[in-house]
Amino acid sequence: MNYEEIRKKAYAAYNECSRLQEYLNASASLIDPESQLAELEQLSCDLPLYGEPVAVKDNVCTKIADTTASSGILQGFRPVYDAHITTLLHDAGAVMVAKTSMDELAMGGTNLSAFTGAVNNPYDLNRVSGGSSGGSAALAAAGAVRFAIGSDTGDSVRKPASYCGVIGVKPTYGRISRYGVIPYASSLDTVGYFTLNVKDAAKMLKVLAGRDDRDMTSSYEPVPDYSVNLNTDLTGKKIAVFGNVYDALEPGEVKESLDRVIDGLRKKGAAIEFVRMDPVLAESCMAVYFIISNCEASSNHSNLDGTRFGLQKEADSFTQIMMKSRTEGFSHFVRKKLLIGSYGLYEDNREEIFVKAQKVRRLIVEEYHRMCEGYDALIAPACPHGAPLKSEAENAPLSDRIEDNHMILTNFSGDPSMSVPMGFENGMPVGLLISAKAFDEAGMFRVAAEVEEITGFKDTVREVGK
């Protein structure tokens, strides 16, 4: 592809993101690619993402565009430095065309709480896209871009991937540097991404993975070529089905889709067994996640005080500036979460709330690893149903059911997992979750490639507004 074709491709993606805004409201801001295209002329056309348009979640710092994390308190904030992954994308030849909407400060699973308004699902504009990385998932699903960046703290890449019918990858904790990514909960946050096929998913991780000394949690583990042996025979591989989740599924399209995948994997030579987790620990996941994530968020966002950057309200004292700025800058939803987190970290409560949650987290991880021991991968439906209506999701109570919360487990453990399209329920996409051992993304991708072949869902795009 010559430079003029690359230019047309970049502007086609930019214009499509702009056109889709009326329908999806998925972009926090659009990025004219002109300056990036000028730089691209100086780069090698052999780069892995040369000229490829990408969309980037709005919690990733970018010098060429505002980074607001979809929060009123960061409106107009332009970082003075790029996130590590922003630099990697540039160096790989990618062209950013949009910063994508997200749940405010990544605190949510619906993408209803963004300062710029809700993101709509490409398959039904009355339904949620999932969150917190819903803007990136929606643009990928609608075909505006083939690659989009997200972040995953509890299921924030994999849930919107399932709801929007695309691939969503959460690598091993530390596999990708988080330097320059506005945090939610530091012990759980993982940079993730969306693609339309497994080969592109393997390609993207090769670009993004690796050690970064500015993020002390990033790993020194070597980065393999994840694209090699994608279609290796599964003969001799042992794949576990998460029995707790399977047993909780209602009869219907989701369970039927899962059964077809299981049957297909067996035909491809994999040994399939059902495994189960202690139900008490399984049903503790949401409570433990709720405490740890909100406590860590409260600490992480103490710097959003209205005096250093972002929104600043006038007042007579530092305390009043901070109170007014945070009250007006944060939504009620986020203020409530930060208040809960502050309560959990308060000196009189810390041992009984935050520290106890950390101890239960360790028990959950030990039980999860016991359940997965001896298996090459674990599979389950990413979500028990397709995307809910926005009206249903807006005030839905938290659920402690494992079928709703099992994706949290790999955020607790740090292991990799991904959602791949599996089927439909009442016309809405549903995904299959594939999880593997730490740093075995290559094995995870091999299973995903076979699932892609079984289902036939590859490069599937939903046309919107045409």
Active-site residue numbers?
57, 132, 156
> How far is Cα 105 from Cα 262, in angstroms, rounded to an integer?
37
User: Which amino acid does the sequence have at 50?
Assistant: Y
Interatomic CA distance for residues 151 and 53, integer angstroms: 19
| Cβ atoms 72, 112 nearer than 8 A | no
Instruction: Give Cα 275 to chain centroid, integer Å.
Output: 26
CB-neighbour burial class of residue 318 (10 A; exposed 0-12, middle 13-18, buried 19+): exposed
Buried b (16+ CB within 10 A) or exposed e, 234-261: beebebbbbebbbebbeeebbbebbeeb
Residue 154 corresponds to which tokens in the numbers above? 């509890």
User: Which contacts qualify for 436-441: CB closer than 8 Å, 24 or more apart?
Assistant: 436/376, 436/377, 436/378, 437/372, 438/172, 438/173, 438/413, 438/414, 439/172, 439/175, 439/219, 439/221, 440/376, 440/416, 441/169, 441/171, 441/172, 441/175, 441/202, 441/205, 441/226, 441/416
Which residues in 48-144 belong to E strands, given as ranges?
A: 53-57, 95-100, 120-121, 124-128
Tokens of 94: 């990618």
Q: Which amino acid is at 15?
A: N
